[in-house]
Amino acid sequence: MMLPWWFVVLTTVCTTVESGRLMVMKANSGGMQMASNHSHFMKDGKRVFLSGVNLAWIHYAYDFGNGQFKNSKADMERYMKELHEAGGNSMRVWIFMQGESSPDFTTDGHVRALDHQGTYISDFKEMVALAKKYNILLFPCLWNGAVVGQSLHKMTGVIRDDLKRQSFIDNALIPLVKAVKGDPTIGGWDLMNEPEGLVNTAYRDAEPCFSSLSDGGGWAAKMFTYREFLKFFNWMAAAIKSVDSGALVTVGANNAYVATDEFGRTNFYKDECLIKAGGKNTGILDFYTMHTYAWSGWSDLSPFKHSVGDYKLDKPLIVAEFSTKKSNGMTAPQLYRYVYDHGYSGAWTWAATDNSAGTPWEDEKKGVAEIRNEKDPLVAFTI
C-alpha cells in the first residue's frame, strides 16, 4: 500500500508437494491444474504470469459479512469485468483489515465467528462467483499492518495471545478456507499487508530472524517484534494448509529490504524464520510478494532496479504493489513491461479504488493490456 496515505490489499488453489520443492496447485475434480517450481507459476506445462491489480476494497473493512456485500457487489463486478476485458487475470482483495467489522470478536478479544449475522461465507462466495465469471484469480489479503486503526487492539490480541489467535483460526480462518477449498478461483492467501508498518525497529535479538532492521518499517507504530509477527504467520499458514494442503500462502512485504538475504539484508519470511517462530513445519510461504514506490526515486533494492534473480529467492516473486503516482516517471505499460521482462512472476498495481495515491484505473488497464498477448510466460490462460 502506498504511503503516506493512511489507508495504505491472486489466489490459486493448489496442492503442495515438498519433494524437490515442487508446489502443485490443483482445482477441484475436473478443474484446472497449476504448479509452481522454484521461481515460476505453471499451468499445463507452461509458465504463467499473474497480471492484475489490487482492488483493494470497495468499502474499507465493510465489504463482507453482516449482509454488506450487496453494497459492494456491483462495483466489484465492474472492476472484474473491465480487468478481464483489458487482459488481466488476477486481483488482490483485502478482507479483515484490523477487525473493524469482521471477524466477530467477543468483548474480551476472542473470535467467535466470521461475522455477527452469519452471512460472511455467502458474501465471500458471491465474490468468488464473480471472479470465476470473469476468469480472475483472487488473492484475499487477511490483515493490514500498514496503519494504526481504531480496531488495532483486536488484531493485536490475535497476534500476541495464543488462545485468541487459536480462536481466530478455529472460528474464522478455517471455516473460510473450508468454504472455498478446491475452488480454482482462489489463487492464494496473503496473510497480512505490510506488517513492517507496525514493526518495532528498535528491537534486537540474538536470532537474526527476529532482530529488526532500523530501516525496515515502523512508520505507523513500533509495536510488534518479528518473533510475534512470524509466529502469527506460521500458525495461520499451517492452519490454512491443514484444511487445504494445496493452498498457496504469502505475506505482503512492504519492500525488498525485509524479503531477501542478499545485499546484507535478512529475509524474515523464509521457511527457517517462520518455523523458528511458530514451530509448525507446514506454516511456510509458497511465494513471495514485494511492494515498491519511488518516493525519491526507486530505492536501491526496488524490483524496478533489479531482475528477479538478484534476490536469489527459492520461490516465485510477485511485484504486488506499485503506482504511477510514485514511479520515477514510468508509465503503467512501462511498469508492467519491466516486471514481465525481468523474470518476476506477477505484477499488481495499486489500486483500482484509490483515487488519491493509486494508479488511475484507466492507466491500470493500459498496463495489463501491454502484456496481455505474451506467451512465455503465458498471460492469457483459463483458471
Q: Look up cell 490489499; give the residue.
A: 9
Q: Which of 126, 196, 321, 364 is catalytic?
A: 321
| Nearest-angstrom CA–CA distance, 38 and 276 | 22
| Nearest-angstrom CA–CA distance, 218 and 38 | 31
How far CA 299 is from CA of 121, 263, 303, in Å, comes to 40, 13, 9
Give the pairing type, strands 50-54 and 346-349: parallel
Evaluate whether 348 touches 53 at the Cβ level (below 8 Å).
yes
Q: Which amino acid is at 314?
A: D
**Please, what's the b/e burial string for 130-151 (b: 16 or more CB within 10 A of its CB; e: otherwise)?**
bbbebbbbbbbbbbbbbbebee
Radius of gyration for the alpha carbons in the chain, expressed in angstroms and rounded: 19
| Nearest-angstrom CA–CA distance, 106 and 111 | 6
| Nearest-angstrom CA–CA distance, 203 and 224 | 9
| Nearest-angstrom CA–CA distance, 181 and 173 | 12
Upstream peptide bond of 333 is cis (omega within 30 degrees of 0)? no
Q: Is 321 part of the annotated catalytic residue set?
A: yes
Q: What nine digits make up the cell of 285?
A: 510461504
Upstream peptide bond of 377 is cis (omega within 30 degrees of 0)? yes
Estimate to the nearest angstrom the gap between the alpha carbon of 53 and the chain centroid. 11
Q: Which of 194, 196, 228, 364 is catalytic?
A: 194
| Nearest-angstrom CA–CA distance, 214 and 222 | 11
Q: What nine digits make up the cell of 208?
A: 537474526
Q: Is 272 part of the annotated catalytic residue set?
A: no
| Residues with active-site annotation | 194, 321
